Chain A
C-alpha cells in the first residue's frame, strides 16, 4: 500500500522568509500525481500545487514551488516570501487511484 510521510509535525517561519516542508512517499507505481493541500482553521481543504510523476519539471504556482525527486520518492514544498495568510496545516498527498494523505505539518508564520 502507498504511504506518505511528513516528518515535520510543526514548522515556523518569519514573515517574508522562505520555508520548506518535507514529504516522502512509498509506491511501486510509475504513474501518479502528488499534491500539497493547505487546511486553515476554517478546515477548508485548498489545493496549493500538484505534480504529475511523468513530468521532470518541478511545478510552480506563484510563491509555491516543489522539489520533486522521483527516484528518491521525495516531494518537498517551498514557500517563498511567507505571508501571515500562509499559516495553516499543510498536507502532502499521493494519488494513484485514490488520495493518501500524510500526517500534516503545522506552519506558523511570525510577524
Chain B
C-alpha cells in the first residue's frame, strides 16, 4: 500500500496567518483528497486534487480559503488561509488505491 508522509504533524498558529500542509506519497497517484476533521467529529472532504488541473472543492469550501497545489503525481499541499479559531481541526490527506484509501497521519492545527 502507498505510504504518505504528511507535514507538519501539528502547529499552533496566530489568527490571520496561513499554514501550508504538505503530503508526499511514495508512489504516483492520480487523485489526492484533503479532509478536515473538527474536534470530536467525523471527516469532511474539502477537495479533490488532480495533477495538472484545478482542485475540485466540496460545498462549503472555497479556493481562496483552502488553496491546493498538485505539482506532480506524488505531492500536494493544502494551505489554510487567514486562519481563525474556527479553523482549529485535524487536516488529513488521502489517496485512493485498488483496495481502499490510505491516509496521511494528519496535521493537528490550533489557531489562537
Task: Note all chain A residues with C-beta closer than 8 A to B44.
Answer: 101
Task: Note all chain A residues with C-beta closer than 8 A to B102.
Answer: 47
Give A36-88 interface residues, CB cut-off 8 Å to B. Answer: 42-45, 47, 50
- The interface size of chain A toward B, counting residues with CB under 8 Å, comes to 17
Closest residue of B by beta carbon distance from A1: B59
Q: Judge if B101 is at the interface, Cβ distance under 8 Å.
A: yes
Bound Cα distance A6, B42 (Å): 11
- CB contacts between A and B, total, < 8 Å: 44
Task: Note all chain B residues with C-beta closer than 8 A to A98.
Answer: 33, 45, 48
Task: Note all chain B residues with C-beta closer than 8 A to A25.
Answer: none
Closest residue of A by beta carbon distance from B31: A98
Bound Cα distance A80, B44 (Å): 30
Q: Judge if B108 is at the interface, Cβ distance under 8 Å.
A: yes
Question: CB within 8 A of B105: which of A43, A50, A95, A103?
Answer: A43
- Contact A101/B101 with A43-B108, A45-B92 known, Cβ cut-off 8 Å: no
Task: Note all chain A residues with C-beta closer than 8 A to B99.
Answer: 47, 50
Query: What's the nearest-Cβ distance from chain A to residue B92, in Å?
Result: 7
Question: CB within 8 A of A91: which of B33, B42, B45, B90?
Answer: B42
A and B contact pairs by CB, cutoff 8 A, 23 listed: A35-B100, A42-B105, A43-B92, A43-B106, A44-B103, A44-B106, A45-B43, A45-B94, A45-B106, A47-B99, A47-B100, A47-B102, A91-B42, A91-B43, A95-B101, A98-B48, A99-B101, A101-B42, A101-B43, A101-B44, A102-B42, A103-B42, A104-B42
Residues of A near any B CB (own CB < 8 A): 33, 35, 42-45, 47, 50, 91, 95, 98-104
What are the 3 A-B residue pairs with the smallest beta carbon separation, nearest first? Answer: A45-B103, A43-B106, A101-B42
